[in-house]
């Protein structure tokens, strides 16, 4: 029997030391499908962060001493509880983020994949040993937890992003303080509650709700050793600079302008299916969405027609509509921004093949914009240069693969890039030369399996380490090298030379 959680509370509170903290200013959370207030969220402050850090510091010392296998047992129980509450997470994501069911279920699956990888901690935390590096001397390395870590996560993935980061951090023996987007606070709160039910000790996983004031307090607090951030590139750059200046280890993931190159030899129907799925899934509100299709050679007319036909059939509606394939944007401000980008593209001379502003729900309640397809885009246009972060797909036409790769290289973002082709040579050229951290070959959204690390290049990532996978384990631990000797008897004598044989 699937357990049922209580309906999401009218107030999304903090979760500190295993219980709710409910004092503080409040902010309304709007249902993106209706514009109505769904609930309220607390806004923490510097004192809230300090309280969470104090609890986490003590909890991290004890949690770090738990055996790796003991921590993994807890994580496995956590995974079971999250899976059992699947319907609750789907409902919460629909209410606060507007995600339709298929999208929410996909997010849950991806988050659990990373939690599965976290359960491989015994393997991924192994050190190295060098036997007899000098006479009777051995050297070996171990990986130690950092202590207290923090994650600042975005609105577009209310569950997956917090789970991506916290699962690896906890597997490594750290305590984690989550600061979810104030627009989608409840998934992190339920996730933390279920963690405690699974055996995560109080204080090891905390949730501090809030806005910019909480982010700044996290970046400044000397008790936090590492910060992970996901959001826009301008903010990611600031987070990386401020956190690094405070002596923290920081990984800050920013925006994207992902290109999908379509070669003339590609199957146009297959490529069109992929483009529509990758451009309009999650209403285009994901850092791995395809926002530019690059049509190479003479394939543009056929490709645009195929995309338009498919995009015109996408079902747009609220999460409560079982037939909806694409939901609303997160806010009224996001809707206004996306509509301004569409108008700007039209004013710059691009062709609006599909105009999402004409969607039947556009004049009603909620923050809906339908699938938009813009042809004749040039690199000088704002719709090409800017991260629109909405259901707007631009089509750039070029003559050669070299021109397509040059366009990707010239773009300041470098999250993902894909090519659709039947040519192994073209694919190999693309995978070697395209300047992006994640490459897809006949795969439109090249998010790697969770055993591989996630992350882009250029202005899409600030910091050395990628997210999750093996690099996630490196980010959330520090190396300690031990050199040891166990002589049978003191050999005596003082030597000022370097140790030798």
Query: Quick check: helix, strand or coil at residue 280?
Result: helix
Strands (E), 180-302: 205-207, 226-230, 249-253, 258-262, 290-296
Whether the CB-CB separation of 177 and 206 falls below 8 Å is answered with yes
Rounded to whole angstroms, how far apart are CA atoms 248 and 258? 30
Length of the chain: 501
* Rounded distance between C-alpha atoms, residue 144 and residue 172, angstroms: 8
* Opening angle at CA 377, ends 349 and 310, nearest 5: 110
Measured CA to CA in angstroms, residue 291 lies from 142, 158, 218, 275, 287 at distances of 43, 22, 33, 9, 10
The Cα 345–Cα 37 span in angstroms is 33
| Whether 147 contacts 174, CB under 8 Å | yes
User: Which residue, 394, 369, 370, 398, is CA-closest to 384?
Assistant: 394
- In the structure encoding, which two tokens stand for residue 325, read together? 């394939």
Q: Respond yes or no: is residue 287 known to be catalytic.
A: yes
What does residue 21 show for φ and ψ, rounded to 5 degrees? -120, 125
Q: What is the distance between the alpha carbons of residues 498 and 475, in angstroms, rounded to a whole number?
A: 33
Question: What is the distance between the alpha carbons of residues 179 and 312, in angstroms, rounded to a whole number?
Answer: 38
Element (H, E) at 20: strand 19-21
Q: Select from 205, 185, 187 the least CA-distant residue to 195.
A: 205
Q: Spot the catalytic one: 119, 149, 172, 287.
A: 287
Integer Cα distance of 82 and 239 in angstroms: 30
Going by C-alpha positions, the residue among 324, 394, 152 that lies closest to residue 250 is: 152
CA atoms of 276 and 149, how far apart (whole Å): 38
- Catalytic site positions: 287
């Amino acid at each position: 029997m699937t357990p049922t959680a209580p309906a999401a509370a009218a107030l999304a509170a903090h979760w500190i030391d295993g219980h709710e903290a409910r004092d503080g200013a409040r902010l309304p959370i709007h249902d993106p499908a209706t514009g109505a207030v769904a609930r309220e969220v607390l806004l923490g402050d510097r004192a809230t962060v300090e309280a969470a850090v104090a609890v986490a510091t003590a909890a991290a010392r004890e949690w770090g001493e738990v055996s790796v296998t003991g921590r993994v047992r807890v994580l496995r129980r956590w995974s079971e509880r999250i899976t059992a509450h699947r319907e609750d997470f789907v409902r919460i994501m629909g209410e606060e983020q507007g995600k339709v069911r298929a999208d929410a279920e996909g997010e849950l699956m991806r988050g659990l994949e990373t939690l599965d990888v976290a359960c491989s901690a015994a393997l991924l935390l192994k050190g190295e040993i060098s036997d007899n590096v000098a006479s009777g001397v051995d050297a070996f390395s171990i990986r130690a937890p950092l202590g207290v870590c923090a994650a600042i996560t975005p609105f577009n993935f209310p569950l997956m992003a917090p789970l991506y980061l916290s699962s690896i951090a906890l597997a490594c023996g750290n305590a984690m303080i989550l600061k979810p987007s104030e627009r989608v606070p409840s998934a992190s709160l339920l996730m933390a509650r279920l963690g405690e039910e699974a055996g995560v000790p109080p204080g090891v996983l905390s949730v501090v709700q809030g806005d910019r004031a909480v982010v700044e307090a996290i970046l400044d607090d000397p008790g936090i050793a590492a910060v992970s951030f996901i959001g826009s590139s301008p903010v990611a750059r600031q987070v990386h600079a401020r956190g690094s200046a405070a002596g923290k280890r920081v990984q800050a993931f920013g925006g994207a302008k992902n290109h999908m190159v379509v070669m003339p030899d590609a199957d146009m129907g297959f490529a069109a299916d992929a483009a529509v799925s990758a451009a309009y899934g999650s209403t285009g509100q994901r850092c791995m969405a395809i926002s530019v299709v690059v049509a190479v050679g003479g394939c543009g007319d056929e490709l645009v027609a195929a995309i338009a036909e498919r995009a015109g059939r996408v079902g747009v509606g609220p999460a409560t509509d079982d037939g909806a394939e694409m939901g609303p944007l997160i806010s009224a401000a996001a809707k206004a921004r996306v509509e301004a980008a569409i108008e700007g593209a039209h004013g710059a001379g691009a062709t609006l093949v599909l105009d999402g502003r004409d969607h039947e729900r556009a004049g009603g309640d909620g923050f809906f914009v339908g699938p938009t397809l813009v042809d004749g885009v040039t690199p000088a246009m704002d719709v090409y240069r800017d991260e629109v972060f909405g259901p707007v797909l631009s089509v750039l036409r070029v003559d050669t693969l070299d021109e397509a790769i040059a366009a990707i290289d010239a773009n300041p973002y470098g999250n993902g890039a894909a090519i659709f082709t039947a040519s192994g040579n073209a694919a190999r050229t693309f995978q070697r030369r395209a300047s992006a951290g994640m490459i897809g070959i006949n795969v439109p959204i090249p998010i790697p399996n969770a055993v591989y690390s996630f992350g882009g290049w250029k202005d899409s990532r600030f910091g050395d380490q990628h997210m999750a996978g093996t690099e996630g384990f490196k980010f959330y631990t520090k190396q300690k090298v031990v050199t040891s000797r166990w002589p049978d008897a003191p050999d005596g004598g003082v030597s000022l030379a370097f140790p030798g044989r």
